[in-house]
Amino acid sequence: MKKFHPQPGFVVQAYRFALDPNASQEAALRSHCGAARAAYNWAVGWVTASWWQRKAEESYGVPQDALTQWRPWSLPSLRKAFNAAKHTDPRFAAWWEENSKEAYSTGLANAAAAFDNYARSKNGKRRGKRMGAPRFKSKRKARLACRFTTGTIRVDTDGRHVTLPRLGTLRTHEPTGKLLARVQAGTARILSATVRHERGRWFVAFQAEVKQDIRRVARPGVAVGIDLGIKALAVLADSTGEIRTVDNPRHYERARKQLRRASRVVSRRRGPDRRTGQKPSRRWEKANAQRNKVHHRVANLREDALHKLTTAVAAEYGTIVVEDLNVAGMLRNRRLARRIADAGFGEIRRRLAYKAQRNATRLVAADRWFPSSKTCSGCGVVKAKLPLHVRTYACDACHLVIDRDDNAALNLAALAAAAVPGTGVAADQDAAPAVSKPRGADRKTRTTRPRRKAEAGRAGGATLPHQRQTETRDRPQAEPLTLWR
């Protein structure tokens, strides 16, 4: 599918609304999403059939020139082959006319993207974890989704309905005034719409080209360092020396008792069994829906809290410094995995990235190996080791005693002035990675001496107010930041 490039001064933004479809509309939605899955499976089978055929011919000693030709997986090729096969293929001939052509285009586009990612990953041109060949999507596990790019796609003028191809007019659970006002004013143009079933509800997301309005932050000259944690979700320390703490709401921990009770009820009902073909009872379905309701509420509360936190931070500070955490590696710790997943460290950085761009805020990502917790925020001494259970940082050089998380946040805030793209010390979100480490180097933290005043000024810019004190004292702190009430 051709990638869309917005006009200068415009950005592509999504507007998502919950739907309230009736019984017939929900059946049509499920039919379209099922058609997308069927088209995806057909494309995967059609392309990989030539792979297996060539492999079989090679085992029989067929020459290389006489082998079956590779089948292309580009979207135009898949569309042409599917349009020729849908009239005679028994899997589609009887019902393909019931759905919009966009449903089948969705599945074919997803298959083309999956094969492209697989090829680029195999050739070493794709970053991240290696991807395997595309596989068939299960009817039981596949996520229900369908995208519309052509036809009648609009937000109705009453502000409570949307119109989609073949599906007609659907009522929304919430008003669509935000997008409708922009469309009527001529500052937004709808490009596509995607319907998706998540957490027991149907949603529609409109992709729109919107005129970008730069929002001026409250304190453009202030930098803030954000240290994420479990006990406190985030500790915010700005360049003026002010420290604020965002308490961790622990939504999943609070709902565990309710979830245990709901799961116990589900386990006592007659559930489905794929081995014997047993279907679930009505009581099991009702109990399972009640348990899913608790899960959905926890997910919604977490999403709401993270949105409020990231929006408040991006709207206040001119520079934001975050850590480059290895969240996937942290989740391997069986003692902390549940609490780390409940906090949503990865989501905080992802949302700060696009919200900072919207507010013209500078986002700096500290190097993953930067010792923010082991470095003294007063004199710059770096400790070789600081176990996780030690929650108070005590400097042996300047005798500063400070909370571990507050110390890390202050070091991150001071790092904003020394951020140079590509140095490996601190870099912008889209900066080039640092050069590889020299031979014999490692990532161990070693003890360093206190830095002089001149060195501190060169390394971190202006000296922060908290860096002038060299002894333990009670520093006034702001009230804990609460953003989800």
Q: Give the domain-ending residue among 159, 186, 211.
A: 211
Q: Which of 317, 263, 257 is nearest to 288 (CA)?
A: 263
The pLDDT of residue 439 is above 90: no
Confidence of residue 357 (pLDDT cuts 50, 70, 90): confident
> Does residue 126 surpass a pLDDT of 80?
yes
Contact 250, 257 (CB under 8 A): no
If asked whether residues 161 and 239 sit together in one domain, one would say no
Q: What is the average per-residue pLDDT within 333-361? A: 91
Same domain, 191 and 324: no
Angle between helices 282-314 and 345-358 (to 10 degrees): 50
Residue with tokens 């700096």: 364
**342 lies in the same domain as 378:** yes
Query: pLDDT band for position 317 (50/70/90)?
Result: very high
Give how far Cα 292 sits from Cα of 76, 263, 296, Å.
Answer: 40, 10, 6
What pLDDT was estimated at residue 466?
A: 45
Q: In this model, does residue 390 exceed pLDDT 80? A: yes
Overall average pLDDT of the 351-360 stretch: 89
Same domain, 184 and 58: no
Where is average pLDDT lowest: 134-138, 244-248, 410-414, 420-424?
Answer: 420-424
Give pLDDT tens digits for 5-59.
Answer: 556 678 889 999 999 999 999 999 999 999 999 999 999 999 999 999 999 999 9
Kindly report the backbone phi and psi dihedral angles of residue 383, in degrees, each rounded to the nearest multiple of 5, phi listed first. -85, 145
How many independent structural domains does the chain possess? 3
pLDDT at 7: 63
Task: Please provide the average confidence, as pLDDT, over all residues in the chain.
Answer: 85
Query: 47 with 92, same domain?
Result: yes
Query: Of 87, 122, 157, which residue constitutes the final position of a domain?
Result: 122
Task: Round to whole Å and give the CA distance between 212 and 455.
Answer: 42
Mean pLDDT of 369-374: 87
Residues 197 and 88 in one domain: no
- Give domain status of residue 281, yes or no: no
Annotation says 102 is catalytic: no
Asked whether 103 and 36 are in contact (CB, 8 A), the reply is yes
Q: Say whether both 239 and 310 belong to one domain.
A: yes
In a domain, 265, yes or no: no
CATH number, residue 357: 3.30.420
Q: What's the distance, CA 299 to chain centroid?
A: 14
Chain centroid to Cα 154, Å, comes to 27
pLDDT above 90 covers what percent of the chain? 60
Shared domain check, 361 and 314: yes
- Tell me the whole-structure pTM to 2 decimals: 0.78
Query: Residue 268 domain-assigned?
Result: no
Indicate if the pLDDT at residue 260 is higher than 60: yes
Is there a contact between 330 and 251 (Cβ–Cβ < 8 Å)? no
Least confident of 166-170, 282-286, 443-447: 443-447
Q: What is the pLDDT of residues 64-90, one digit of tens each?
A: 888 999 999 999 999 999 999 999 988
* Residue 342 is among the residues annotated as catalytic for this protein: no
Taking residue 172's Cβ as centre, other Cβ atoms within 10 Å add up to: 20
Residues 52 and 112 in one domain: yes
Asked if pLDDT for residue 453 goes beyond 60, the answer is no
**pLDDT (tens digit, 9 = 90+) per residue, 466-481?**
443 333 334 444 444 4
Q: pLDDT band at residue 422, thresholds of 50, 70 and 90?
A: very low
User: What pLDDT, on a 0 to 100 scale, did the predictor assign at position 214?
Assistant: 77
Cβ–Cβ < 8 Å for 166, 175: no
Q: Give the domain extent around 68.
A: 36-122
Does 110 have pLDDT greater than 70?
A: yes
Which tens digit of pLDDT belongs to each residue from 170-185? 999 999 999 999 999 9
pLDDT in tens, 284-308: 999 999 999 999 999 999 999 999 9
User: Considering the domain boundaries, does residue 157 fall inside one?
Assistant: yes
Of the candidates 102, 209, 316, 323, the residue annotated as catalytic is 323
Residue 333 has pLDDT above 70, yes or no: yes
Residue 317 and residue 444 in one domain = yes
Same structural domain for residues 106 and 185?
A: no
Which of residues 122, 155, 172 is at a domain's end?
A: 122
Do 88 and 181 lie in a common domain? no
Would you say residue 428 has pLDDT above 90? no
Say if residue 396's pLDDT is above 60: yes
pLDDT band at residue 384 using 50, 70 and 90 as cut-offs: confident
pLDDT at 401 over 80: yes
**Phi, psi values for residue 365, rounded to 5°:** -110, 120
Least confident of 74-78, 235-239, 295-299, 445-449: 445-449
% of the chain with per-residue pLDDT over 70 = 84
Task: Give the tens place of pLDDT for each residue, 191-231.
Answer: 999 999 998 899 999 999 998 877 888 898 899 999 999 98
User: Does 436 map to a domain?
Assistant: yes
Asked whether residue 479 is assigned to any structural domain, the reply reads no
Q: Is the Cα dihedral 329, 335, 336, 339 positive or negative?
A: positive
Q: How far apart are CA 223 and CA 215, in angstroms?
A: 17
If pLDDT is split at 50, 70 and 90, which confidence band does 452 have? low
Reply yes or no on whether 304 is catalytic: no
Cα distance between residue 49 and residue 71, in whole Å = 9
Which of 227, 238, 316, 406 is catalytic? The answer is 227
Q: Is the pLDDT of residue 342 over 90?
A: yes
Tell me if 179 is assigned to some domain. yes
Q: What is the pLDDT of residue 30?
A: 96
Query: pLDDT value at position 426?
Result: 38
In a domain, 282, yes or no: no
pLDDT at 465 over 70: no
Residue 5: what pLDDT? 54
Report the pLDDT value the prediction gives residue 1, as an integer from 0 to 100.
45
Tell me the C-alpha distance between 281 and 276, whole Å.
14
Strand partners, 205: 16, 194
SS (H, E, C) the chain: CCCCCCCCCEEEEEEEEEECCCHHHHHHHHHHHHHHHHHHHHHHHHHHHHHHHHHHHHHCCCCHHHCCCCCCCCHHHHHHHHHHHCCCCCCCCCCHHHCCHHHHHHHHHHHHHHHHHHHHHHCCCCCCCCCCCCCCCCCCCCCCEEEECCCCCEECCCCCEEEECCCEEEEECCCCHHHHHHHHHCCEEEEEEEEEEECCEEEEEEEEEEECCCCCCCEEEEEEEEEECCCEEEEEEECCCCEEEEECCCHHHHHHHHHHHHHHHHHCCCCCECCCCECCCHHHHHHHHHHHHHHHHHHHHHHHHHHHHHHHHHCCEEEEEEECCCHHHHCCCCCCHHHHHHHCHHHHHHHHHHHHHHCCCEEEEECCCCCCCCECCCCCCECCCCCCCCCEEECCCCCCEEEHHHHHHHHHHHHHHHCCCCCCCEEECCCCCCCCCCCCCCCCCCCCCCCCHHHHHHHHCCCCHHHHCCCCCCCCCCCCECCCC
